[in-house]
Amino acid sequence: MKCLSPSILAADYGKLAEEIRKVDEAGAQYIHIDVMDGAFVPNITIGAPVLADLRKYTDKIMDVHLMVKEPDRFVEDFVEAGADIITVHAEACTHLDRTISHIKEQGVLAGVALNPATPISTITHVLEMVDMVLIMSVNPGFGGQSFIPYTLDKIVDLRRCLGERGLKLDIQIDGGVTLDNIDDILDAGANIIVAGSSVFHGDAGANVAAFLEHMS
């Protein structure tokens, strides 16, 4: 199933609950929560306490993207705060297999993310363990960046690899997604679409509707 996951990084942090209500009511199936620690990426955003408050305002899937070093330290906090999916970066985990098991043991879905330059082969051995693979199409840390075109090839390669192994994982794309490149991204095989600036800059409700029309 194709789903839209608006990234609140691009929303007005002064009225996050209202911003989330807009995209929720417009039909977005996920809410993408970008968590940054200032160490794995050169930016700092929000922690579990903010998610716990936002959880009260939507029943949509809370899609938590941990851009933090050694994320095991925070898994329980984000589960307690209401995360439905916790995605960690392969590059940020000393023991990725153990971290994925740790997330699954909490009863939530586990995702693994790859930065643009990190090859798919990095996660070959854990594909049976995860529920979703996040392909970063920008270098993580900021919204509003331009889509990196070679990441389309990674989606194609990953979808082919999953097909050969009979795995039906979700492939999430994250970074620089717009109404101009969404069709190519869907054709490549991604089915969970993260969009920040192209949703929250302007009329968020109308932007969600426009994305969902392309995805139907």
Question: What is the nearest approach in angstroms of ligand DX5 to the Cβ of residue 67?
Answer: 6
Nearest CA to 43 among 134, 113, 140, 118? 140
From the list Zn ion, ligand DX5, none, pick the one residue 11 interacts with, judged by a Cβ distance below 5 to 8 Å according to partner type. Answer: none
- Whole-angstrom CA distances from 134 to 12, 16, 209 are 24, 24, 23
Nearer residue to Zn ion within complex by CB, 12 or 105: 12
**How many residues make contact with Zn ion (CB under 5 A)?**
3
Q: What mask of x and - would describe binding to ligand DX5 in positions 30 to 69, judged by CB under 6 A?
A: --x-x------------------------------x-x--
Residue 102 found at the interface with Zn ion (CB under 5 A): no
Residue 89 found at the interface with Zn ion (CB under 5 A): no
Binder among 19, 24, 37, 174 for ligand DX5 (CB under 6 A) = 174
At residue 110's C-alpha, the angle toward residues 85 and 146, to 5°, is 70
Q: What mask of x and - would describe binding to Zn ion in positions 145 to 174, judged by CB under 5 A?
A: -----------------------------x
Q: Is 63 a catalytic residue?
A: no
Q: Is 174 a catalytic residue?
A: yes
- Residues 99 to 158 in contact with ligand DX5, rule: CB under 6 A: 138, 140-141, 143-145
Binder among 22, 60, 65, 102 for Zn ion (CB under 5 A) = 65
Nearer residue to ligand DX5 within complex by CB, 7 or 99: 7
Question: What is the nearest approach in angstroms of Zn ion to the Cβ of residue 36?
Answer: 9
- Whole-angstrom CA distances from 17 to 56, 63, 69, 106, 131 are 9, 16, 28, 26, 27
Binding-site ranges for ligand DX5 (CB under 6 A): 7, 9-10, 32, 34, 65, 67, 138, 140-141, 143-145, 174-177, 194-198
Binding-site ranges for Zn ion (CB under 5 A): 34, 65, 174
Name the residues annotated as catalytic.
Answer: 34, 174
